[in-house]
Amino acid sequence: MTTMGKIKNFDWLAVVFYPLAVILMEAFWVSPWLNWVGVWPFFSEARPVLSLASVIIVIVVSLLVTRIFVSQKLPMWAVQTIVIGCGLVTMLLVLAVEYADGYGFFESGWFGHIWKILGDTFTNPSPIVVAIPAIIYLWWRGIMLGQSTSYFRDIYRSFILGMVALVILIILWQVTGASGRLPTPGPEIGINIIAFFFFGLLAIAICHLYNMRRTMPSEEAKLTSVWRWLPIMLGVVGGMILVGFGVASTLSPDFFNAIGRGAEAVFGFLGTVFSYIIWPFVYLFEGIAIFIIWFMSLFRSEQTLPPEETGNMTIPGITDITNPEIPPVVTEIIKWFVIAIIISVVIFFLAKAISRYRQRRALEEIDETRESLFSWRGLKDDLKLLFQMMGQRFQRKSPAAPPYVFDENAMGKLDIREIYRHLQWEAGRSGLPRHRHETAEEYARRIENKVPDSRMPLKDITGMYENVRYGERIAPKDKLDAANGLWQTLRGMIRKLRGE
């Protein structure tokens, strides 16, 4: 196939435009938060914690690294090491650009300068102490987006999360700006909001278009060209946003003042209710604050306090009392122990996200129970499942069911569905994994193109599988015996693809 043919057949919609829209949607709600945190008064300098470009780069690199290496046939520990190691390298590169402070790129003195800044965190905090956890969060989000943008899932949850985060940010920024301690939000917050809604709605539109294409026959799906529909989606989404802001700009100030007074009354009542609810947590936060103050005292240098003046009064006969001090070795051990715990927790959550991504990908490629035909009962079951999943967010998760174990040399009698699972497993190992949009017959035709001799046994097994899977029929004993014999023949043909 020529280069132009490869470019033409490349699925730009799923591989490029959709992930890019989701990444930009994510970046345009995270970046305003980092800008607001960067102007807090107790930092040594007022500056954005990370620039918008850095936020986008971290998410893009994390998503690409996750997709590339998780799909490789490598041990899980190797994939986790590569992805987390790439995250560490990306963090150093971003910090070297964002917080160069006059040093050359990766100059030896820069590392000592950064270490000194981190050591002075409790006496002279710098925005870099927020940049490091922010990069870790963005890297984790890139891993999660690498999973969701592969299967066109969770886009609504990401969009709602970003929208709620922007609303909370606007309220907090207006409140802190009105107090005079922080600057009020500038016009750039409006640009971020417009960009967030533009790319968020665009991602939702692309998601719907791609899901629509998956349900079409292959001939009709080819007519839904990306280059034909993408400009239309850009125009519709952009027009909706422009019309919305145009209507908002025509409303009178009195209208907004009335809304403000009503909102003030509502928020005042909610604030009173919230104050009664939050009161028990005050004692908890007070205990946490006492612990933090004690931990901060470990980093302070020892200072000799001048003796207090007692005037002409003297108290004879009382010896000096010296309080026992914690040895410096114990203090250093506590410091490094806490740091090691934090690093271990970060690595654990990143590794867990990577392994969860590979497990879900494997299940989507092999589990035949994902097939379904539309029905009102199915819609009701889906809605019921949705509400159950929302409720399970607040419940302890039960241990996952053990995955189906495939026996490479299974010689016993298998039922029809077990035979078909083994067929997908063997074909996937031979370079012919089943695609999510394929029916059983479409998958059989693709295997026939690679293994022409498999046409007859594959046709018989596929037909029996469809009768059992969709017709809910029980295969007779003679047909079940015949299917097992056909599977033994077909398995040998498929294994020849990988040289066995």
Residue 271 host element (H or E)? helix 253-297
Residue whose tokens read 């410096």: 328
> Any idea which of 136-145, 368-377, 385-394 has the lowest mean pLDDT?
368-377
The percent of residues above 70 in pLDDT, for the chain, comes to: 63
What average pLDDT does this structure show over 469-479? Answer: 75
| Band of pLDDT at residue 413, cut at 50, 70 and 90 | confident
Q: What is the pLDDT of residues 179-223, one digit of tens each?
A: 677 777 777 788 888 888 888 888 888 777 777 766 666 655 555
Tokens describing residue 402: 């053990």
Cα 443 to chain centroid, rounded:
31
d(CA 293, CA 124): 15
Q: What is the pLDDT of residues 119-167, one digit of tens each?
A: 777 777 888 888 888 999 898 888 888 766 555 556 777 888 888 888 8
- What pLDDT score does 298 carry? 65
d(CA 125, CA 122): 6
Helices 52-70 and 76-98 sit at what angle, rounded to 10 degrees? 160
Q: What's the chain's average pLDDT?
A: 73
Q: What is the pLDDT of residues 255-299, one digit of tens each?
A: 555 555 665 666 667 667 767 776 777 777 677 777 777 766 665
Instruction: Determine contact, residues 49/130, Cβ cutoff 8 Å.
Output: yes
The number of residues in the chain equals: 500
Instruction: Determine contact, residues 121/136, Cβ cutoff 8 Å.
Output: no
> Any idea which of 17-21, 194-198, 230-234 has the lowest mean pLDDT?
230-234
d(CA 458, CA 478): 18
d(CA 275, CA 269): 10
Instruction: Determine contact, residues 152/18, Cβ cutoff 8 Å.
Output: yes
With vertex at residue 390, the alpha carbon angle to CA 384 and CA 393, rounded to the nearest 5 degrees, is 140
- What pLDDT score does 369 carry? 43
Collect all residues with Cβ–Cβ distance below 8 Å to 57 and sequence separation of at least 6: 90, 94
- What pLDDT score does 230 carry? 66
Cα 43 to chain centroid, rounded:
29
| Band of pLDDT at residue 58, cut at 50, 70 and 90 | very high
103-108, Cβ contacts within 8 angstroms, sequence gap of 24 or more = none
The percent of residues above 90 in pLDDT, for the chain, comes to: 2
- What pLDDT score does 420 carry? 86
Instruction: Determine contact, residues 32/189, Cβ cutoff 8 Å.
Output: yes
- What pLDDT score does 56 carry? 92
Nearest residue to 144 (alpha-carbon basis) of 375, 434, 344, 353:
353
Tokens describing residue 267: 């928020």
Highest mean pLDDT among 94-108, 314-328, 413-427, 464-478: 413-427
d(CA 190, CA 188): 5
Instruction: Determine contact, residues 53/131, Cβ cutoff 8 Å.
Output: no
